[in-house]
């Protein structure tokens, strides 16, 4: 099996991370993978905000926890958080960000770095407590966050499992 297919087929979400920094050059490769994702009409109306400061990540987690009433929520305490945001008016922002997130997850996995999609912000970006933290992180006010990538070296082992779903060939 080629390396690309192996990366795709072996990637699993990680929800427990080691306290081990991600080297700068590897973070740059992950962000470059996001920047090279497909973008509808080539508009690239996105922004990728990389947060490597644990206190800032937890400040955002606390705001999410309080706004959504999710006791104990901490975004799995990742080493890094990449926040793709997109113009609210972009008709394809959600899809563009999803493509970028998948590229990030696959790039991270190829480097031995775990990842998990965090999606709580898409409906609460403009709640004042959340917007305040997003403003502090440099997320533009005219952007929405459809998902975030929590990244770090995995501290959990994922067993291979069969994937379900129906595949139909309509030749």
Q: Is the pLDDT of residue 66 over 90?
A: yes
Sign of the torsion formed by the C-alpha atoms of 117, 120, 44 and 92: positive
- Residues 6+ positions from 57 with CB-CB distance below 8 Å: 51, 75, 77, 78, 81
Average pLDDT, the chain: 95
Instruction: Tell me the CATH number of domain 3-152, given options 2.102.10.10, 3.20.20.140, 3.40.109.10, 1.10.3720.10.
Output: 3.40.109.10
Q: Identify the pLDDT of residue 38.
A: 96
CB of 9 within 8 A of CB of 163? no
What is the distance of C-alpha 59 from the center of its chain?
17
Query: Nearest 5 degrees, angle CA 122-CA 123-CA 126?
Result: 100
Q: pLDDT tens, 91-119? A: 999 999 999 999 999 999 999 999 999 99
């Amino acid at each position: 099996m080629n390396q690309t297919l192996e990366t795709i087929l072996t990637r699993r979400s990680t929800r427990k991370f080691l306290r081990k920094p991600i080297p700068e050059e590897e973070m740059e490769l992950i962000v470059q993978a996001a920047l090279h994702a497909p973008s509808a009409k080539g508009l690239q109306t996105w922004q990728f905000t990389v947060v490597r400061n644990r206190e800032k990540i937890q400040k955002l987690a606390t705001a999410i926890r309080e706004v959504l009433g999710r006791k104990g929520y901490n975004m799995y305490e990742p080493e890094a958080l990449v926040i793709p945001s997109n113009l609210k008016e972009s008709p394809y922002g959600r899809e563009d960000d999803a493509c970028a997130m998948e590229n990030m997850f696959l790039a991270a996995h190829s480097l031995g770095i775990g990842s998990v999609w965090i999606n709580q912000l898409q409906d609460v970006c403009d709640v004042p407590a959340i917007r305040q933290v997003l403003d502090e992180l440099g997320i533009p006010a005219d952007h929405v966050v459809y998902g975030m990538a929590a990244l770090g070296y995995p501290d959990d082992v994922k067993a291979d499992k069969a994937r379900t779903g129906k595949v139909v060939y309509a030749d």
